[in-house]
């Protein structure tokens, strides 16, 4: 049986300009500066600095209309090449902004030095190796991941050597060369597992009773060690609790990710630039937007003069009409970009100001227990903007406060009811949970059931599974893994 259905679908599409504006709003300060620099390089009709132009959009529209009507012109009247020549690049095209010398440093630091891979290759040069051995060693170094491990089976490496390097060898030879790679610095590099990584590091240390015991535990009782079955370790190795504590202390001082400790891996060093600053002045909160988000821009006078020159010309040709159309396109793009930046500034400030006022008690005291439950919709409704806009501001921006620089989204949290029926922030509960775990007896850590009971006693009736969820969000392991001797 056939059925007919009539349905209506209402959809709203964003214009390209609106999409670009949303992308601008999402950019944090450093990324915004890069975007600004890119726009300045691509659009010569956009300049930095102060300059008020009398030319209005009506002038552009008049010129645009003229360009559509006329077909003849004396091309010597305006030499477009004078304005579009690449021989001499104006200063404004090489500057992203014109901040004064007392503005904050704008450079982004990078980790200096050679790559981790090259660092290992350079060390191989100190070993005497045949051509085939060198090819195997170089291939093994190339298989080391950013944590310092070789996670591929020897058999797979053997096959790849044959197919890609024309090196035909066996597992024994690869294992022999692997031991050379594992002699490189940092200690533990080239390991195929955490167990092997820790053992390699212990074997590079001077022998002591604690080092010997630690090595024996890792080789013979690694599972008991990872699960913190301390009584089983004491019985199996016939040792005292003090001896076990010293051995575990040696293991805990090792580096489980030797590759991550190498500073020359050419990764960008994290360098957070606050997008906002909140200060307390005479008991009142004061919000400022980082000045690097508010560059002074204007439309190029040269380009507007070119349009005026065309407008005043008596004869206009098709070729010059096309050129002027290009100029107008660049001028329109420049004007839009300036307006978009102003809208971005306004959106950022209004959104952050609303967040600051919503969490006023926290920003005045710095006490996280004063954080009110706050979701994106609360701020969106207050400022009359879309939730997605608030999300773009909160997810990528930092604010400098008297209590440190923090990601804005950290101030958002859901709410739950306490025993008095009051709405409290889940952040407040997490803070209390974290404090309870910090003060627990480490020889007998609190289980999630016991944590739930303690929170209930404090007036927060939440289920055990909710406690487990909050604990995981705080990156706190289960009770068994928090156990200490």
DSSP 280-317: EETTEEEEEE-GGGS--EEE-HHHHHHHHHHHH-S--B
Condensed to tens digits (0 to 9), the pLDDT of residues 88-131 reads 333 333 233 333 333 444 443 333 446 778 888 888 877 888 88
Under 8 Å between Cβ of 127 and 103:
no
- Angstrom distances, CA of residue 291 to CA of 30, 274, 295, 297, 345: 12, 11, 7, 13, 10
For 230-263, the pLDDT digits (tens) are 888 888 888 888 888 888 888 888 888 888 766 4
179 pLDDT higher than 80: yes
> Which residues fall within 8 angstroms of residue 353, CB to CB, at 6 or more apart?
287
Over residues 364-398, the pLDDT tens digits come to 998 877 888 888 889 999 999 988 889 888 888 89
Q: What is the pLDDT of residue 87?
A: 34
| CA dist., res. 259 & res. 194, Å (int) | 13
Element (H, E) at 331: helix 318-358
Instruction: Quickly tell me which residue has 């889940």 as its tokens.
Output: 426
Separation of alpha carbons 186 and 317, rounded Å: 71
At how many degrees (to 10) do helices 209-220 and 230-237 cross?
Answer: 110
Helix-helix angle 376-383:318-358, to 10 degrees = 120
Distance of CA 228 to the CA centre of its chain: 34
CA atoms of 122 and 136, how far apart (whole Å): 15
pTM for the structure as a whole? 0.51
The secondary structure of the chain in percent helix, strand, coil, rounded to multiples of 5, reads 55, 10, 35
User: Quick one: tokens of 428?
Assistant: 């407040």
């Amino acid at each position: 049986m056939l059925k007919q259905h009539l349905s209506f679908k209402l959809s709203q599409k964003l214009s390209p300009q609106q999409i670009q504006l949303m992308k601008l709003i999402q950019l944090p300060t450093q990324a915004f500066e890069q975007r600004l620099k890119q726009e300045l390089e691509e659009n010569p009709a956009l300049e930095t600095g102060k300059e008020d132009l009398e030319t209005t959009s009506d002038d552009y529209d008049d010129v645009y209309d003229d360009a559509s009507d006329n077909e003849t012109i004396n091309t010597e009247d305006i030499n477009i090449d004078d304005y579009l020549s690449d021989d001499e690049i104006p200063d404004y095209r090489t500057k992203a902004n014109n901040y004064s010398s007392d503005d904050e440093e704008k450079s982004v630091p990078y980790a200096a030095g050679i790559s981790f891979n090259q660092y290992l290759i350079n060390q191989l040069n100190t070993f005497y190796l045949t051509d085939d051995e060198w090819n195997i060693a170089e291939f093994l170094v190339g298989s080391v991941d950013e944590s310092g491990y070789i996670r591929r089976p020897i058999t797979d490496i053997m096959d790849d050597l044959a197919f890609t390097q024309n090196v035909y060898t066996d597992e024994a030879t690869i294992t022999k060369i692997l031991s050379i790679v594992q002699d490189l610095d940092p200690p533990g590099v080239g390991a195929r597992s955490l167990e092997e990584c820790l053992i390699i590091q212990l074997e590079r240390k001077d022998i002591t009773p604690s080092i010997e015991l630690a090595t024996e535990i890792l080789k013979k009782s690694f599972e008991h060690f990872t699960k913190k079955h301390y009584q089983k370790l004491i019985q199996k190795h016939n040792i005292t609790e003090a001896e076990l504590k010293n051995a575990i202390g040696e293991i805990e001082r090792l580096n489980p990710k030797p590759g991550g400790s190498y500073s020359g891996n050419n990764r960008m060093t994290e360098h957070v630039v606050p997008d906002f600053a909140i200060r307390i002045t005479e008991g009142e909160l004061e919000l400022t937007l980082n000045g690097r988000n508010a560059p002074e821009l204007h439309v190029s006078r040269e380009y507007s003069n070119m349009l005026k020159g065309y407008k005043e010309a008596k004869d206009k040709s098709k070729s010059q009409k096309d050129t002027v159309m290009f100029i107008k396109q660049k001028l329109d793009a420049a004007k839009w970009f300036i307006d978009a930046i102003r809208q971005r500034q306004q959106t950022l400030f209004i959104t952050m100001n609303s967040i600051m006022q919503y969490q006023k008690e926290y920003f005045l005291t710095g006490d996280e227990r004063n954080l009110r439950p706050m979701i994106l919709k609360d701020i969106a409704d207050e400022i009359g903007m879309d939730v997605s806009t608030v999300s773009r501001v909160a997810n990528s921006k930092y604010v400098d406060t008297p209590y440190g620089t923090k990601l804005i989204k950290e101030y958002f949290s859901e709410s739950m009811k306490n025993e008095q029926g009051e709405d409290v922030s889940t952040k407040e509960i997490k803070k209390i949970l974290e404090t309870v775990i910090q003060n627990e007896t480490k020889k007998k850590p609190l289980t999630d059931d016991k944590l739930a009971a303690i929170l209930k006693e404090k007036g927060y009736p939440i289920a055990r599974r909710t406690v487990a969820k909050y604990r995981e969000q705080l990156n706190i392991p289960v009770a068994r893994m928090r156990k200490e001797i």
